[in-house]
């Protein structure tokens, strides 16, 4: 395929170009994803750097590894350079204390009391925004480098099992990460360094831990060597004015993005508009009017479309249902539902007593025509496309994307779709979800897989 000649156009404007030679391995569901991330941290030789949005006090890594801090302190104890950027919410827009590591005096004293050797910076935003990137970069710039980009929060329900069998009787989250090696890992490295060097709280006494504010990192000076056959692009949302000086992501960056960076939004729009056969979406927040309108046009072209969402609606969606100014969004979802080639679906796993429990769909991914996929922190919502910092990887490789689709459908449908093309697989998805919805209404828990059809006209009511 000649450079730039892709079936699905990549984003045109952004900090990072399209790069060949990557290994991209999707990690579906929290338990296997966090297990792989932990193994990468445990074998790190040089550094472990990560960006954290939400973290719950009760979060624990799989297989008895303990908390995030237990895992990171063990790496730092081996002499690995461990750095964490935590999101600090503003007073005007607070989130519950149990879901952020705010850097309070008590939390900083706790780090000291455990002898932590982590280097920590806190990063806040104006009240209308927040930092939503969830990334890891291990051994940045070395041959052993590996990166992870995704949407999983550090939350107990995120450590979900394959198939979402709710053994403890509690609901689980469905989510995804992508493991990255090769040239695109350099861009994840670059993104971390920019955020570290420009972290908004770095000059405050309580804005860092374990180092001085003069501790800056050099931007990567060379690309990592090719590690695979996947062509990919790292994409971001960087709102204009997200930082007080208005210059974050400009200093020493490869492109001038003084007006902000919106390459994830650009990518979603281009991919939906270019779709010819099938669009498959998993997203926590299905609420962007402009993107849903693009999906409606794709449906009119005959494209098969399925969107897997939280069965009861994300909390913002439930709030929007009560507000007249948001009614056009729900009208668009209902209009999509008038097309036979559209499926809106939720997931439900088995409980110990044999009943079904809704799975909270927290993932943020899209697949198009079995040739394109995007995975990251970005919700299908205007706040993610325009007002929060986000990080995605988009990639094109027929074998890799089809394998991801088959993996997801094996879980959601309990059916092998490897012999089906993208459109036929989505038709099977629609038929299975519809049959499961009828079983759900009848009180029958003997489903085929997890997916069940939702009514687009009443979604989030």
> What pLDDT sits at residue 1?
46
List Cα–Cα distances, 153 to 85, 173, 351, 362, in angstroms.
14, 10, 23, 9
Which of 267, 310, 264 lies closest to 285 in space, CA to CA?
A: 310
Beta strands in 2-152 (DSSP E): 19-28, 47-52, 81-87, 119-123, 135-138, 146-150
Dihedral sign computed on CA atoms, order 182, 137, 216, 242? positive
User: Is residue 7 assigned to a domain?
Assistant: no
First and final C-alpha spacing in the chain:
46
Q: Crossing angle, helix 263-274 and helix 289-300, to 10 degrees?
A: 20
Q: How many CA atoms lie within 13 A of 448 on its CB side?
A: 16
Query: Do 284 and 250 belong together in one domain?
Result: no
* Domain assignment present for 58: yes
Percent of the chain with pLDDT over 70: 94
- Per-residue pLDDT at 247 exceeds 70: no
Q: What is the pLDDT of residue 90?
A: 75
- Six-digit token pair at 279? 């669009």
State the chain's mean pLDDT as an integer. 92
Segment 69-109, tens digit of pLDDT: 999 999 999 999 999 999 998 766 556 777 899 999 999 99
Domain final residue, candidates 228, 262, 296: 262
Confidence of residue 26 (pLDDT cuts 50, 70, 90): very high
Instruction: Please compute the mean of the pLDDT values over residues 199-203 and round it to a whole number.
Output: 93
Q: Could you give the 3-state DSSP secondary structure of residue 46?
A: coil
- Do 442 and 452 lie in one domain? The reply is yes
Does residue 2 sit within a domain?
A: no
pLDDT at 165: 83
Q: Are 179 and 39 part of one and the same domain? A: yes
Return the pLDDT at 2: 45
Residue 90's nearest CA partner among 200, 237, 191, 250 is 200
* pLDDT value, residue 93: 57
Q: Does position 163 have pLDDT exceeding 70, yes or no?
A: yes
DSSP category for residue 286: B
Other Cβ atoms closer than 10 A to 31? 17
| DSSP conformational letter for 105 | H
pLDDT greater than 50 at residue 370 = yes
- 269 and 250 in one domain? no
pLDDT class for 130, splitting at 50, 70, 90?
confident
Angle value at C-alpha 9, between 6 and 11, nearest 5 degrees: 130
Phi, psi of 151 (to 5 degrees): -125, 0
Tell me the pLDDT band of 258, cut-offs 50, 70 and 90.
low
Check whether 248 has a pLDDT greater than 60: no
pLDDT at 129: 80
CB 261 within 8 A of CB 237: yes
Residue with more model confidence, 46 or 320: 46
- Residue 212, classed as helix, strand or coil, is coil
Report pLDDT digits (tens) over 406-449: 999 999 999 999 999 999 999 999 999 999 999 999 999 999 99
pLDDT score of 125: 83
Q: In the predicted model, is pLDDT for residue 405 greater than 60?
A: yes
Coil, strand or helix at 218: coil
Can you tell me the mean pLDDT for 294-320? 94
Nearest Cα to 307, choosing from 211, 412, 212, 195?
412
Q: Which helix (H) or strand (E) holds 422?
A: helix 422-441
Mode of pairing for the β-strands spanning 364-368 and 278-283: antiparallel
For range 354-373, the mean pLDDT: 96
In the predicted model, is pLDDT for residue 255 greater than 50?
Answer: no
Identify whether 5 is part of a domain: no
Task: Give the relative orientation of helices 30-42 and 68-77 as an angle to the nearest 10 degrees.
Answer: 20
Q: How confident is the model at residue 373 (pLDDT cuts 50, 70, 90)?
A: very high
The predicted pLDDT at position 167 comes to: 72
The residue out of 218, 239, 262 marking a domain boundary is 262
- Please give the residue range of the domain that contains residue 316: 264-458
Contact 374, 177 (CB under 8 A): no
- Tell me the C-alpha distance between 254 and 295, whole Å: 33
Judged against a pLDDT cut of 90, whether residue 127 lies above it is answered with no
**Cα gap 286→333, rounded to integer Å:** 9
Read off φ and ψ for residue 282, nearest 5 degrees. -120, 125
Burial call 229-253: b when 16+ CB within 10 Å, e when fewer:
ebbbbbbbbbbeebbeeeebbbeeb
Q: Is the pLDDT of residue 393 over 80?
A: yes
* Confidence (pLDDT) at 246: 38
236, 262, 288: which is the final residue of a domain? 262
The pLDDT of 202-217, averaged and rounded, is 95
Task: Dig out the tokens for 72 from the structure.
Answer: 């990171």
Residues 6+ apart with CB under 8 A from 284: 151, 309, 310, 314, 360, 361, 362, 363, 364, 379
> What is the distance between the alpha carbons of residues 442 and 341, in angstroms, rounded to a whole number?
25
Establish if 335 belongs to a structural domain. yes
Our count of domains for the chain comes to 2
Residue 251 has pLDDT above 60, yes or no: no
- Same domain? For 256 and 271 the reply is no
- Is there a single domain that holds both residue 428 and residue 376? yes
Asked if pLDDT for residue 461 goes beyond 60, the answer is: yes
Instruction: Answer whether residue 10 is part of any domain.
Output: no
Q: Are residues 216 and 363 in the same domain?
A: no
Q: Which residue has the tokens 């929290």?
A: 30
Residue 199's pLDDT is what?
Answer: 93
Q: Range with the lowest mean pLDDT among 63-77, 150-164, 243-257, 321-335? A: 243-257
Model pTM score: 0.95
**Which of these, 330, 311, 297, 322, lies nearest to 437 by C-alpha position?**
311
Q: Is there a single domain that holds both residue 220 and residue 356?
A: no
Q: In this predicted structure, what is the pLDDT of residue 252?
A: 38
Q: Using the predicted structure, report yes or no on whether residue 191 has a pLDDT greater than 90.
A: yes
Q: Which domain CATH number covers 195?
A: 3.30.870.10
Q: Identify the three-state secondary structure at position 99.
A: helix
């Amino acid at each position: 395929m000649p450079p730039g000649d892709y079936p699905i156009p990549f984003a045109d404007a952004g900090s990072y170009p399209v790069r060949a030679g990557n290994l991209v391995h999707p990690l579906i569901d929290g338990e296997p994803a966090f297990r792989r991330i932990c193994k990468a941290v445990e074998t790190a030789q040089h550094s472990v750097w990560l960006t954290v949005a939400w973290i719950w006090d009760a979060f624990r890594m799989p297989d008895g590894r303990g908390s995030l801090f237990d895992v990171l302190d063990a790496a730092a104890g081996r002499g690995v350079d461990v750095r964490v950027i935590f999101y600090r919410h503003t007073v005007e827009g607070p989130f519950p204390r149990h879901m952020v590591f705010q850097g309070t005096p008590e939390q900083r004293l706790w780090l000291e009391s455990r002898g932590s050797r982590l280097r920590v910076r806190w990063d806040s935003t104006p009240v209308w925004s927040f930092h939503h990137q969830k990334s890891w970069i291990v051994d940045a710039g070395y041959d052993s480098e590996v990166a992870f980009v995704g949407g999983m929060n550090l939350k107990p329900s995120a450590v979900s099992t394959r198939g979402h069998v709710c053994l403890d009787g509690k609901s689980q989250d469905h989510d995804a990460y992508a493991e990255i090696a090769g040239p695109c890992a350099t861009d994840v490295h670059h993104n971390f360094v920019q955020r570290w060097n420009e972290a908004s709280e770095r000059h405050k006494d309580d804005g860092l831990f374990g180092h001085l504010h003069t501790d800056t990192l050099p931007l990567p000076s060379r690309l990592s060597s090719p590690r695979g056959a996947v062509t990919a692009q790292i994409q971001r949302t960087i709102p204009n004015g997200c930082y007080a000086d208005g210059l974050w992501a400009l200093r020493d960056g490869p492109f001038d993005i003084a007006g902000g960076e919106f390459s994830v939004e650009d990518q979603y729009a281009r991919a939906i508009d270019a779709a010819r056969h099938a669009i498959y979406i998993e997203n926590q927040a299905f609420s962007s009017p402009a993107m849903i309108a693009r999906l409606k046009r794709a449906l009119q072209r005959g494209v098969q479309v399925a969107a897997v969402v939280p069965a009861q609606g994300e909390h913002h969606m439930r709030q929007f249902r009560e507000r007249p100014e948001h009614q056009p969004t729900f009208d668009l979802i209902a209009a999509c539902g008038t097309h036979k080639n559209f499926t809106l679906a939720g997931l439900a796993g088995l409980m110990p007593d044999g009943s079904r429990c809704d799975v909270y769909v927290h993932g943020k991914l899209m697949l198009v025509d079995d040739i394109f996929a995007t995975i990251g922190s970005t919700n299908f919502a205007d706040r993610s496309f325009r007002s929060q910092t986000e990080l995605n990887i988009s990639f094109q490789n027929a074998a890799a994307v089809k394998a991801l689709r088959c993996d997801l459908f094996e879980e959601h449908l309990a059916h092998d779709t490897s012999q089906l093309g993208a459109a036929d697989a989505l038709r099977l998805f629609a038929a299975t979800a519809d049959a499961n919805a009828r079983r759900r209404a009848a009180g029958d828990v003997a489903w085929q897989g997890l997916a069940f059809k939702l009514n687009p006209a009443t979604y989030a009511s």
